[in-house]
Structure 1
Amino acid sequence: MAEIVAIKRVADTPLRVEADGPLLRVILASPPANALSREMLKRLHEAIDRASTDGAVRVVVIGAEGKVFSAGHDLKEMNGRRGDADRGRAFFEETMLACASLMQAIVRCPKPVIAAVDGLATAAGLQLFASCDLAVATDTATFCTPGVNIGLFCSTPMVALSRNVGRKQAMEMLLTGETIDAATAREWGLINRVVPREYLNPVVTKYAQTIASKPASTLRIGKEAFYRQAEMPLAEAYDHSVRVMVENMLARDAEEGIGAFLEKREARWED
């Protein structure tokens, strides 16, 4: 049974955070839209920051209640600021920067982050799960970047989207605003697995527990190296990865793990 360690309910933007052994479940609990309001962005960022420094947390799982994973930014909240003296410019900029900061925090989090997607993930909602390291979706989940349909190109979701799928596929989604199904999303590389709804939590939990059983220090080293080398030219990426590999080889857990493998015994991780 998961222990509820924090519940934040501010206005209509609740976020539920549960400790489940080595897993930290972060649940968007503001149906029907699970919109990424300013308050929701703040609470999500706080949860990721907490997970990053909490030694008891090995893996983070981001999910949502209801039939929509997340419909993206709270457009009512944003449109309500058009009456400001600057027509909302400052609020829009602060919101987009807060969202960008959250997505980067997920990528930079030293703990693996898995998205459990059920229902529609659209615009910044797609950006949220696409920023995670892994994503499992139900077979009825759907995905889109529909900003073009309302005159607002999904430029910030584009950053995460274009780092997950090919350019032609990303541009198809961005230019048409059309929805793709879970099978297409998996074919394009946007998600890892497609499962029936009743299997979503069991499959995600199994994924998370498998990852949580690995040495935390190795996961941290590997995740950081993966994203850093992905931003580098080929030769620079290899130079960086060689340095990381050497330091990793000298780490206590690598010495123990290799020794255990050669001696055909269970490894004893120090983390």
Structure 2
Amino acid sequence: MDTAEIKDLVRARYGSVAAGADASGCCAPAATGCCGGKPTPETRSRAMGYSEAELAAVPDGANLGLGCGNPQAIANLKTGEVVVDLGSGAGIDCFLAARQVGPAGRVIGVDMTHEMLAKARANAGKLGVTNVTFRLGEIEHLPIADGTADVVISNCVVNLVPDKAQVFREAFRVLKPGGRVAISDVVNVAPLSADLQADPALLCGCVSGAAPVERIEGWLREAGFAGVRVAVKPESREMIASWAPGRGIEDCVVSAMIEARKPAEAA
């Protein structure tokens, strides 16, 4: 598939999740037989590292259980900071970030799926938050001015994008000097078999689009970041195996926490 076809496939997949047409509610699509036993979004999110307090703080419908970790755990958000969420979905990470940065801070969620944006905005209305906004856009071309953000977060979205290097260049652009990246995503740790690579469901399912750690580190450094760290989480294999039971994807991809900083002297 070319880039446009991949984007159309991903947009359709997550649009159906937001609209409720796809009840699988997990990162990998139902066509692969993922999420055996259909655990709830809350169950999946607990496995990803979200606390009971965090899950209780977001409105019903904000947590779709689509991530592969909890970027809040490494973001170290502070009062008054501006946060940008790449691929904000139904809004869970935006709402959690909004609590941490407080009324003096601001959170901007960006998503390319109209249905997800509508869901996120409805959830913001339920919660009554005033320091969160959601914008339509692709994370390779963020609708955000240069030097806006203190922190860029994301949860299991960068792997879905064909041009990952451009995502990191955009993150660098919108960060203030000294700003930081805190991303949870899947990374490739072993070659995928031909049948896994050819399965479009596994592309949408955060599997076949995963990149190796060394390539992610290289893209971040090429974008200008310092302090690059990609921490692989082997314990995530059990969770990932549930996305496509019996297919061995957990031997090829695992969750990782990705951190980097824009140098303070960067223009």
Q: Quick check: TM above 0.5?
A: no
TM-score calculated relative to the size of structure 1: 0.29
Higher helix share: 1
Higher normalized contact order (CA 8 Å, seq sep 6+, divided by chain length): 2
**Which of the pair has more CA radius of gyration?**
1
